[in-house]
A and B are shown apart, each in its own frame.
Chain A
Amino acid sequence: MRNSFVRLGNITVVGLKSIARNKLRSLLTALGIVIGVACVIVSVAIGAGVAQSVQEMINSLGSNFIMIMPGAATQSGARIFTGASTLTEDDAEAIKRECSAVAYVSPSLRTGGQVVAGELNWGTQIQGVGVDWPFIRSWNVDEGAFFSEGDVRTGTKVAVLGKTVAESLFPNGDAVGAIVRVKNVPFRVVGVLEKKGGSMMGSDQDDHIVVPYTTAQKRLMGQSRFGMIIASAASADQVQDAMDQIDALLRQRHRIPQGGDADFMMRSQEEMAQANAQQVKMMRNLLLGIAIVSLFVGGIGIMNIMLVSVTERTREIGIRMAIGARGRHVLLQFLFEAVTLSVLGGLLGVLFGIGVAKLIEKGINWPIVISPQAIVVAFVVAASVGIFFGFYPARKASKLDPIDALRYE
Chain B
Amino acid sequence: MPAVIDIRALVRIYTLGEVEVRALDGVDLTVDAGEFVAIMGPSGSGKSTLMNIIGCLDRPTSGSYVLDGADVSQLSRDERAIIRNAKIGFVFQSFNLLARTSALENTELPLLYGDFAGSRQERRQAALDSLHRVGLAGREQSYPSQLSGGQQQRVAIARALVTNPAIVLADEPTGNLDSRTSTEIMSIFQDLNDSGRTIVLITHESDIARHAKRIVHVRDGRINQDERITQERVRNVEAGFSPPSPG
Contact = CB atoms under 8 A, between A and B. Distances in A.
A100 interface: no
B60 interface: no
A14 B112 contact: yes
A203 interface: no
B86 interface: yes
Given A11-B112, A17-B101, A323 B85 contact: yes
A320 B159 CA distance: 12
A315 B92 CA distance: 12
A316 B90 contact: no
Contact of B159 (A14, A321, A323): A323
B120 to A, nearest CB: 9
Q: Which of the listed residues B81, B96, B110 has the most CB atoms from chain A within 10 Å of its own CB? A: B81
A3 B52 CA distance: 26
B96 A7 contact: no
A107 interface: no
Interface residues of B, number: 27
B69 interface: no
B86 A324 contact: yes
Contacts of A321: 81, 84
Interface in A312-367: 315-316, 318-329
Nearest to A21: B100
B109 interface: yes
A324 B58 contact: no
A359 B110 CA distance: 50
B196 interface: no
A176 interface: no
A324 B57 contact: no
A322 B90 contact: yes
Contacts of B137: none
A328 to B, nearest CB: 8
B179 to A, nearest CB: 25
A10 B110 CA distance: 11
Contact of A403 (B57, B82, B98, B109): B57
A326 B82 contact: yes
Interface residues of A toward B: which range? 20 to 34
Contacts of B92: 322, 406
A402 interface: yes
B2 interface: no
B77 A327 contact: yes
A325 B55 CA distance: 14
Contacts of A402: 57
Contacts of A319: 96-98
A324 B52 contact: no
Interface string A217-230: 00000000000000
B78 interface: yes
A213 B53 CA distance: 100
A318 B57 CA distance: 10
B205 interface: no
Contacts of A322: 55, 57, 84, 90, 92, 96
Contacts of B101: 17, 21
Interface in B40-92: 52, 55, 57-58, 77-78, 81-82, 84-86, 90, 92
Contacts of A328: 78
B123 to A, nearest CB: 9
A324 B81 contact: yes
A83 to B, nearest CB: 75
Contact of A323 (B52, B58, B84): B84
B98 A323 contact: no
B145 to A, nearest CB: 12
Contact of B58 (A10, A11, A13, A403): A403
A14 B92 CA distance: 22
A7 B113 contact: yes
A315 B105 CA distance: 17
Interface string B108-120: 0110111100000
Q: Which of the listed residues A11, A323, A328 has the most CB atoms from chain B within 10 Å of its own CB? A: A323
Contacts of B90: 322-323
A342 B101 CA distance: 24
A42 B86 CA distance: 53
A316 B98 contact: yes
B57 A323 contact: no
Nearest to B90: A322
Given A21-B100, A403-B52, A323 B82 contact: no
A324 B113 contact: yes
Interface in A277-336: 315-316, 318-329
A323 B78 contact: no
Contact of B81 (A10, A21, A326, A403): A326
A10 B96 contact: no
B153 to A, nearest CB: 14
A328 B79 CA distance: 12
Nearest to B79: A326
Contact of A406 (B77, B82, B96, B114): B96
A21 B85 CA distance: 25
A7 B52 CA distance: 27
A266 B58 CA distance: 83
A326 B113 contact: yes
B161 to A, nearest CB: 12
A3 B112 CA distance: 10
Contact of B82 (A14, A17, A316, A324): A324
6 contacts: A17-B101, A17-B105, A321-B81, A321-B84, A324-B85, A406-B92
Given A324-B81, A403-B52, 13 more contacts: A3-B115, A7-B112, A13-B112, A320-B113, A322-B55, A322-B57, A323-B159, A324-B85, A324-B163, A325-B85, A326-B113, A327-B77, A406-B57
Complex A-B, nearest 4 residue pairs according to Cβ-Cβ distance, in ascending order? A324-B85, A324-B113, A10-B112, A326-B81
